[in-house]
Chains A and B, each alone.
Chain A
């Protein structure tokens, strides 16, 4: 039944060691988003794709990149994770005219040691 699936649920990485988080969807939505959510803070938009058209927010750090090889999959790459990158990373999807905003995955909790 899961419609937006994020793997892994928990990820521990070493300081400076590249890490990739993945997201897949079965909804065939053409828009996919990556949000970063730190403890007790609002989710913060990092990137979004409208089909293959990529957009990043102006304040998204250069350390973060994203790939979307096809409609179903999207990846978040963190090239050199720092302690400040520890957070919950949320993937979401939507389609134009969708009335209920976005559909979120369960998130990946990233710990940097």
Chain B
């Protein structure tokens, strides 16, 4: 069964304190791994797509990496505005079509 697990469930950081979020996956045929940011009461907002092991993408204070079994979202010197839930999703081909399977997310709180 295709599965996505994110850890930790919640993370509290001080402003400027770098850390990493983990997304591990078990899928039969990965067609891309996606990171989204979700603010309270809003829909997920796209951050990155990764397709192959060893690939890395960066945007401002965020950097996403991918291995064959997991992905990391590294946050360097976070600011309070980085507080949000970060969702990881894998795209798989199942039942004749592509679909995204999400993890439950990591709730990040960055305090001044």
Contact = CB atoms under 8 A, between A and B. Distances in A.
B95 A55 contact: yes
B49 A100 contact: yes
A42 B103 contact: yes
A43 B102 contact: yes
Interface string B25-59: 00000001010100001111110010000000000
Contacts of A105: 43
Contacts of A88: 41
B44 A43 contact: yes
Q: Which of B41, B97, B100, B101 has the most CB of A within 10 A?
A: B100
Given A42-B87, A43-B87, A102 B100 contact: yes
B41 A107 contact: yes
A105 B43 CA distance: 6
B97 A42 contact: no
Interface residues of B, number: 26
A40 B8 CA distance: 13
A106 B42 contact: yes
Contacts of A45: 99-101
A42 B102 contact: yes
Given A40-B104, A42-B104, A101 B34 contact: yes
A103 B34 CA distance: 12
Contacts of B43: 4, 6, 90, 92, 104-107
Interface in A22-41: 33, 40-41
8 contacts: A6-B43, A42-B102, A43-B102, A55-B95, A92-B43, A102-B100, A106-B41, A106-B43
Interface of B: 4, 9, 32, 34, 36, 41-46, 49, 87, 89, 91, 95-97, 99-105, 107
